[in-house]
Amino acid sequence: MRYRKLGTSGLDVSVLGLGTNAFGGRADKDTSIRVLHHAVDNGITFIDTANIYTGTKSEEIIGEAFEGRRHEVILATKAGMKRGDGPNSSGSSRQHIFQEIEGSLKRLRTDYIDLYQIHAFDPKTPLDETLRALDDLVSSGKVRYVGASNYSAWQLMKSLAISDKRQLTQYVSVQPGYSLADRGVERELLPFCSDQGIGVIPYFPLAGGILTGKYSGGSVPSGSQLDKNPNFAQRMDAARMELGERVAKIAAEIGTSATALSLAWLMHQPAVSTVIAGATREAQIDENLKAVELELSQDVLQALNEASEEFIYSPPFGSAPRRK
C-alpha cells in the first residue's frame, strides 16, 4: 500500500480508501465485517462512512468491526443530511452538528473521529457558525480533522477565508464526485485545491460500475447497482456506457482491468489524496488494490483524457437521481 498526506495536513491516508454506503444494505453485516477486515489487512486505512448510510447501519457495523482495532484505521464520517422531521434535523448548524457527533461516536464505538465532514453546503446556516462548531469539536478532542463534501470552489474558498480570519480549524479535504465519467471538478475545484493544499477524496470513482466493464454488452450482473436499484439506469446514458467500453479496451491493451485502470487514473490526478471505492465482496477489494501499484504512462493517461474529455463539461454523474 502507498500512503499520502491528506492535503497539507500531517495525516497519512492510504491512496485507496473504502466506501461503506452499501454496508447493512447490499452487503449484510457479516459480509461487511469480512470486507472491512480484509481491507485493513491489506493496508487500506481510510474508511469512509456517514450518519445516513443505510439508516445508520453502516456506522454501527464499522464500530463493531473495529473493536480492538480502532488504532489501525482512519475513520471518516459525515453529518448534515436530513436525519428526521424536526426543524433542526438537518443542515450544518451548531445544534445539528453537536447532536449528530454524539450519535456517530456511539455507533462507531470510539471517542474520536479522525475526519469529520460536512456532507453538503448549507446555505441557511452562516459558515461562521458551522466552522466555530467544528473548531469546538477539534478543541474538545472529539474530532481530529475536518473536511467538506459536495462543496463548490467558491464555498470552500469562503470557508477557508473565514477560518483564517477567525483563527478556526480549517477544512483539510473535500469530497466530490470524480471519475473518468464525471470530470466537472477539473474546471474550478481541483485547481483551487491544488493551490490551497486541500486534499481531494473522490467518491463514485467507478461511476457506479460503468467504469468496471461489468455492464458491457448490456448485461446486468446480479447484485450490481442497476440490479438492486433500477432507478440507477437514469445515470447510464449512452455516452458514459461508450466510455466504459473504451476504458475496458485500453485496459486490455496494457494488461490490466478497467477497474484498476480507472482508479489508477484518479490516483494520478493533482491534489487527490485517497480514492474511496466501495466493495461488497472481498474479491472487489483485491481487484481495487491492483490500482495502487499501477503506473500509467503519459500515452495511456493521454488516451484516457481524450476518451473522457466531454465529461469535463457534462452534468455531474450524481445529479439525477439524487445521490447519497
Residues labelled catalytic = 53
From the CA atom positions of the chain, what is the Rg in Å? 19
Residue 50 is placed in which grid cell?
A: 456517514
DSSP 8-state assignment for residue 6: S
155-160 — which CB contacts under 8 Å span 24+ positions? 155/121, 156/189, 156/192, 156/193, 156/196, 156/198, 157/192, 157/196, 158/127, 159/127, 159/131, 160/196
Nearest to 181 by CA among 323, 301, 284, 305: 305
Nearest to 75 by CA among 43, 42, 41, 104: 104
Element (H, E) at 191: helix 189-196
Sign of CA dihedral 218, 224, 226, 228: positive
Strands (E), 195-311: 199-200, 275-278
Nearest to 119 by CA among 101, 144, 138: 101
Sign of CA dihedral 251, 257, 263, 268: negative
Asked if residues 277 and 285 have their Cβ atoms less than 8 Å apart, the reply is no
